[in-house]
Amino acid sequence: MDLDAYVSERRGEWNRLDALTRRRKLTAAEADELVLLYQRAATHLSVVRSHSPDPILLASLSQLVIAGRSAVTGGRRYSWRPVVRFFTTSLPVELYRARRWWLTVMVVNVVLAGVLMAYFAANPDIIEMFAPSSTIDRYANEDFVDYYSEFQAQNFAASVWTHNAMLAGQCLASGVLIVPALWILGQNTFQLGLTGALMTYAGHGDTFFRYILPHGFLELTSIFVAAGVGLRIGWAWIAPGPHRTRGRALAERARAGMLVALGLVAMLLVSGLLEAYVTPSGWPDPVRIGIGFVVWLAFMAYALGVGAAAHRRGETADLDPDHTEAQVPMA
């Protein structure tokens, strides 16, 4: 076969195909012509590939065939609709469905942290088992407050965001085994209670709450949500519910958990920004704490209000077709 003559004879078709693929709108006749030329170009590519070692010709013709296929099948256009649906429907409905778990985790851990804080503050000898008096004084008078302004705000926000995201990820992922998630929660609650007691014992209890509350409302809730959703996943293979195998129940809960994990990324970003910009801002305490509380209330309204509305509409049924909840051993 005379390859030069073959290419020369069909060059006009290829140029026409190239011109059609570059047009944004085609008439019906041009669309039919595009399909025909694409099919013929694909055949030409096969012929040329079997007879020509010329890489430039093969690359040029392959690119033309790919462009033709894209024009025929229609390229996928980016749409914000899935993103909007995620934040307005998919995420809140999964937060709502897991509400019994993370609300229970939140209540239990907050109460437990308060009890530990009061007990340690009333028994300073326990506090001194973990830190000598000199360390307590330096931490209460300097280190605790300086921590929030030691680095530039944007760097501190990024550091806090990644640290809390890792902690939340550990809670969520380890929930499938139940005990590791409870261990992580216990460590976090113990640390919170001990820190609060240390500050109270040193006479700076008010400082502790002034610097914890602006971001702590949302930050701690994020951890509780991660742990609650993780425990919900773990409970699925213990009590899958009627008409479901353990594997199916675990897969459904895990898919729902991944949606929540994506939402926690945004949630922890907001709490990180609060901790970096609002907590050490020097604004009046009612303003700083009020901002944190309002943001937390907005999240609760989003998770329980918007989520309840989406749940009533029966949204995201593909994740949990029968909406069957396993019996939960918590209130």
pLDDT tens figures, 22-37: 887 888 888 888 899 9
| Under 8 Å between Cβ of 264 and 185 | no
Share of the chain above pLDDT 90, in %: 47
| Residue that wins the pLDDT comparison between 240 and 116 | 116
Instruction: For residues 227 and 224, give the distance between their C-alpha atoms in angstroms, rounded to a whole number.
Output: 5
From its phi and psi, is residue 203 left (phi > 0), alpha (psi between -120 and 50) or beta? left
Q: Please say if the pLDDT value at position 134 is more than 80.
A: no
Instruction: For residues 289 and 213, give the distance between their C-alpha atoms in angstroms, rounded to a whole number.
Output: 6
Place 331 in a pLDDT band, splitting at 50, 70 and 90: very low
* Residue (of 106, 135, 142, 133) closest to 228 by Cα position: 106
Q: Please say if the pLDDT value at position 321 is more than 80.
A: no
Q: How far is CA 281 from the centre of its chain?
A: 27
Lowest mean pLDDT of 14-18, 95-99, 321-325, name the range.
321-325
| Under 8 Å between Cβ of 295 and 221 | no
Q: How far is CA 62 from the centre of its chain?
A: 40
Identify the three-state secondary structure at position 23. coil
What are the tens digits of pLDDT across the range 36-58? 998 998 888 888 888 766 777 78
Cα dist from 73 to 11, 37, 64, 211, 275, whole Å: 23, 14, 14, 57, 49
Q: What is the pLDDT of residue 327?
A: 40
Q: pTM here?
A: 0.73
What are the tens digits of pLDDT across the range 156-176? 999 999 999 999 999 999 988
Instruction: For residues 301 and 295, give the distance between their C-alpha atoms in angstroms, rounded to a whole number.
Output: 10
N-to-C CA span, the chain: 81
Q: What is the pLDDT of residue 277?
A: 95
Residues in the chain: 331
What are the tens digits of pLDDT across the range 199-231? 998 889 999 999 999 999 999 999 999 999 999
What are the tens digits of pLDDT across the range 266-298? 999 999 999 999 999 989 999 999 999 999 999
Count of alpha carbons within 13 angstroms of residue 46, beta-carbon side: 5
Token pair for residue 125? 């000898």
Q: Please say if the pLDDT value at position 328 is more than 50.
A: no
Token pair for residue 185? 């929660």
Q: What is the pLDDT of residue 46?
A: 85
* Residue (of 250, 261, 260) closest to 316 by Cα position: 260
Q: Please say if the pLDDT value at position 73 is more than 90.
A: no
Instruction: For residues 82 and 263, give the distance between their C-alpha atoms in angstroms, rounded to a whole number.
Output: 14
Cα dist from 197 to 18, 35, 117, 121, 126, whole Å: 74, 75, 5, 5, 10
Instruction: For residues 273 and 50, give the distance between their C-alpha atoms in angstroms, rounded to a whole number.
Output: 60
Question: 10 Å Cβ neighbour count for 330?
Answer: 14
Q: What is the pLDDT of residue 208?
A: 93
| Residue that wins the pLDDT comparison between 57 and 148 | 148
130-144, 188-202, 232-246, range with greatest mean pLDDT:
188-202
Q: Compute and round to an integer the Cα radius of gyration of the chain.
A: 30
Share of the chain above pLDDT 70, in %: 92
DSSP state of 320: S
Instruction: For residues 270 and 87, give the distance between their C-alpha atoms in angstroms, rounded to a whole number.
Output: 15
Q: What is the pLDDT of residue 317?
A: 41
Place 140 in a pLDDT band, splitting at 50, 70 and 90: confident
- pLDDT, average across residues 122-127: 88
Place 116 in a pLDDT band, splitting at 50, 70 and 90: very high
Q: Mean pLDDT score of the chain, rounded to an integer?
A: 86
* Residue (of 308, 318, 322) closest to 100 by Cα position: 308
| Residue that wins the pLDDT comparison between 5 and 88 | 88
Token pair for residue 218? 């949302």
Instruction: For residues 39 and 20, give the distance between their C-alpha atoms in angstroms, rounded to a whole number.
Output: 14
Instruction: For residues 67 and 59, give the distance between their C-alpha atoms in angstroms, rounded to a whole number.
Output: 12
| Residue that wins the pLDDT comparison between 26 and 188 | 188
Q: What is the pLDDT of residue 45?
A: 84
